[in-house]
Structure 1
Amino acid sequence: MSRPLVVFTDPEELDVGPGVRLLTDAGFDTRVVGSRDPDAIAAAARDAVALIVGYAPVDAALLDRLPGVGMLATMSAGYDMIDTAQARRRGLWVSNLPHAATEDVAVHALASALSLVRALPQADATVRGGGWNTEFAALPCRAGELTLGLWGFGRIARVLARIAAPVFGRVAAYDPHADAAGWPDGVERLGLDELVAGSDVLSLHTPLTPQTRGMVDTALLARMRPGAFLVNVARGELVDTAALLAALDSGRLGAAALDVFPVEPPPLDDPLRSHPRIQLSPHSAYLSDASQRAYVCAPAENVIAWHRTGRPLTPVVDPTLEGAPS
């Protein structure tokens, strides 16, 4: 009797070995495509029962070519790469990883914010260029006198608020979908306009949707405090990069820290790479020795649970329910 096949689409830098071993021990065969190309995925997964997905787009056209797939497990908390409406129409389960790197991303966001506040990129460049602190273009700020604003208040933002509270003078957040009953003490709940206008550091923690794509645009940047800082560890497409560059060039925005980009990796000639007031990291906020294991093992555990019980451990689309996320 043949073993059910599970296909990893595009794990990229992740070592899938631990996840493969879990699946093999549970009675599955596995295959790794190593590509986002839909033709390559369709060829490799034509007999698969489940896909474990990195960033490869999974749309209706691809799903039409995979009639045996019943489960889509993402290797991330985000699942915008999957057309969830089409998955639900086809009766497919979709799972994500809500906790795999929560602490890592929150700490990375805090480190990025403090690096901007304390002008560490400027300080590093000054010393490397033979200068000293008398040559600073602008003095670092005192974090205890600043407001950290969080746009979105899910798991990552809540951890960030907790660890940032002893450092920043004030922490505030905006999230129209968050339950007021579970809102923690010590974090001010503001409207969007209040948050944007009142934050010295604005950190993005909202999912990418048609409504949030390009939400940090010229108009929003103009409402921010002069000299404020922007941190993005969420999705690159949340930010209009042309508007960001213009705000930095005009001095309206003090600096930005970006871990995510609309195109990854950004082209070598992308002006984001060379702007002196942008601090860059290579979509690494989620990376740690612990998260490396979780990103391959947790999707495998979702697939195993679904195959054994009919339900994954952390579903985001439950095709048995009317009105599942789409």
Structure 2
Amino acid sequence: MKIVYLNTNYEDSHIEEKHIHAAGMQLHVHNGLKPSEFAPAVEDADALVVALEKVDRNLLDGMPKLRVIGRMGVGIDSVDIEAASKRGIPVINVPDYCIEEVALQAVSMILAAHRKLVPAQTIVKDGRWDNNELKPIQALSGLTLGLIGMGRIGNKVIEYMRAFGLRIAVSDPFLRADQVPTGVELLSFEELLKEADILSIHCPLTPETKHIINRDTLALMKKQPIIVNVSRGGMINEQDLAEGLDNGQIRYAALDVLNQEPPDIGHPLIHHPKALITNHIAWYSVEAEIRLREMSVTRVIDYLEGRPVPTIVNAKGLEALK
């Protein structure tokens, strides 16, 4: 069987080779390809593995033998799940390889934004030593941290943030009150927006959550909150957020993800004095990268060899076809 890696862009493939060759399968790696060059590279693939490359209906139509898609990462918004499901093709992601890393990035951004570390550094680099323009900074323990979504990463953020003594609340339409950790409040989305001093986003990007932060939802935020996003850039209407920062609706924004990556040079948030932007690095540690590669390849092989896989994202859709 032939496993094709498309534009995953690692310098070598020794991790993948070890597992694929041990299974008696073939590995074909194609990096640096343009969409117009995809067809001959993938046409006879039994399995396709991608990182951020889009897998749409046209690409799927050119792979008549395809049995499984592996997505190297958490989000699956780059894959046409409906088209894959109609073909009976499972889509396997790896939502459990970087829980610690992404949660720690969120916590780091929360603390940096709250303590105004970036503007404080700018003052020092400008040769000044006056802290009046940084005031006020409230005690963290008196604030409310609100989480939009509470999956694996949201749970880890709660675990880390408990030590700071904040009130912690979450909004998640898939949670019941008895599923929320002790001491954490479950609120409606509107209640969370009204009560949060710090708002951290931890839900997947879907048609329902796209631009969940926009002019209308910003208007519901009564406490001029800090907004943190380590999930997907598409959660936020960035122009609306920039306006919210300009008019004082929002105190600060700390984002590891943007709608377009890399962003245009004129992006309204890149040089904004009330924004901290990092380059989609939340997922990364040396260990997480190894886990990602190991888990991606072994789950694809497990499926091809008939073993159960824990993270088939369209399992319900496939079951409905039976």
Instruction: Sort the TM-score into its range (normalised by shorter chain).
Output: over 0.9
Looking at structure 2, the residues matched to 140 and 173 of structure 1 have their Cα atoms a distance apart, in angstroms, of: 24
- The superposition leaves residues 117-161 of structure 1 with CA deviations (integer Å, 9 ceiling, x where unpaired) of 111111111111111243434332321111110001111101111
Report the AA paired with residue 56 of structure 1.
E
The 1:9/1:48 distance shift into structure 2, 3 A limit, reads same
- The residue type equivalent to 2:319 in the other structure is L
Mark the CA change 1:210 to 1:80 in structure 2 (over 3 Å): closer, same or farther. Answer: same
Is the 1:35–1:41 Cα contact (8 Å) retained in structure 2?
no
Instruction: Give, in whole Å, the separation in 2 of the partners of 1:62 and 1:179.
Output: 39
TM-score by length of 1: 0.93
**TM-aligned CA distance change 1:311 to 1:172, over 3 Å:** same
TM-score normalised by L of structure 2: 0.94
Q: How many angstroms apart in 2 are the aligned matches of 1:323 and 1:233?
A: 35
Q: Which runs of 5+ in 2 are unaligned?
A: none
Partner Cα separation in structure 1 for residue 45 and residue 32 of structure 2: 16
The answer to whether 1:67 aligns with 2:67 is: no
Q: 2:278 aligns with which of 278, 281, 284?
A: 281
Question: Partners in 2 of 1:194 and 1:97 — Cα distance?
Answer: 32
Of 34, 46, 50, 2:47 maps to 50
Structure-to-structure mapping, 1:154-165, within 5 angstroms = 154-165=151-162
Match of 2:166 in 1: 169
Match of residue 140, structure 1, among 137, 145, 163: 137
Written as runs of structure 1 = structure 2, the 5 A alignment for 1:26-37 is: 26-35=23-32, 37=34
When structure 1 is superposed on structure 2, of 120-129 and 308-317 the one drifting more is 308-317
Q: Does 1:84 align with 2:106?
A: no
Paired residue secondary structure (1:237):
helix
Q: For 1:59-208, what aligned pairs fall within 5 Å after superposition?
A: 59-208=56-205
Q: How does 1:255-266 map to 2 (within 5 A)?
A: 255-266=252-263
CA contact (8 A) 1:23 1:304 kept: yes
- The residue aligned with 1:294 is 291
Aligned letter for 2:117?
Answer: L
Q: Quick one: which amino acid aligns to residue 40 of structure 2?
A: A
| Cα deviations by residue, 1:228-253 (Å, 9 ceiling, x for unpaired) | 10000011011001100000011111
How far did 1:310 drift? 5.5
CA distance in 1, matches of 2:136, 2:11: 40
Do the aligned partners of residues 13 and 238 (structure 1) sit closer, same or farther apart at CA in structure 2, a change above 3 Å counting?
farther
Give the conservation status (yes or no) of the 8 Å contact 1:147–1:168.
no
Length, aligned pairs only: 321
Letter in 2 for 1:174: S
Distance 1:276 1:268 in 2: 16
Are the equivalent residues in 2 in contact too, given 1:70–1:93 (CA < 8 A)? yes
The residue type paired with residue 276 of structure 2 is: Q
Q: What residue identity is the alignment partner of 2:61?
A: D
Against the structure 1 CA distance between its residues 140 and 32, is the aligned structure 2 distance closer, same or farther, given a 3 Å change threshold?
farther
Q: Distance in 2 between matches of 1:242 and 1:108?
A: 24
Distance 1:126 1:219 in 2: 34
TM-aligned CA distance change 1:36 to 1:72, over 3 Å: farther
- Which range is displaced more, 287-296 or 180-189? 180-189
Say which is worse superposed, 19-28 or 232-241, in terms of deviation: 19-28
Q: In 2, are the aligned partners of 1:122 and 1:136 still within 8 Å (CA)?
A: no
CA RMSD of aligned residues (A): 1.8
State the shift of 1:36 in Å: 7.0
Contact 1:232 / 1:257 at 8 angstroms: preserved in 2?
yes
Q: Does the Cα contact within 8 Å between 2:210 and 2:236 map onto a contact in 1?
A: yes
Which residue in 2 is equivalent to 1:236?
233
Change (3 A) 1:22 1:208: same
Deviates more, 1:21-30 or 1:247-256: 21-30
Q: CA deviation at 1:314?
A: 2.1
- Between 1:124-133 and 1:312-321, the stretch displaced more is 312-321
Query: Is 2:310 the counterpart of 1:316?
Result: no
SS of the equivalent of 1:272 reads coil
Q: AA paired with 2:288? A: S
Structure 1 residues 182 and 61, CA gap change in structure 2 (3 angstroms): same
Identity fraction in percent:
31
Aligned pair in 2 of structure 1 residues 107, 16: CA closer, same or farther (>3 Å)?
farther
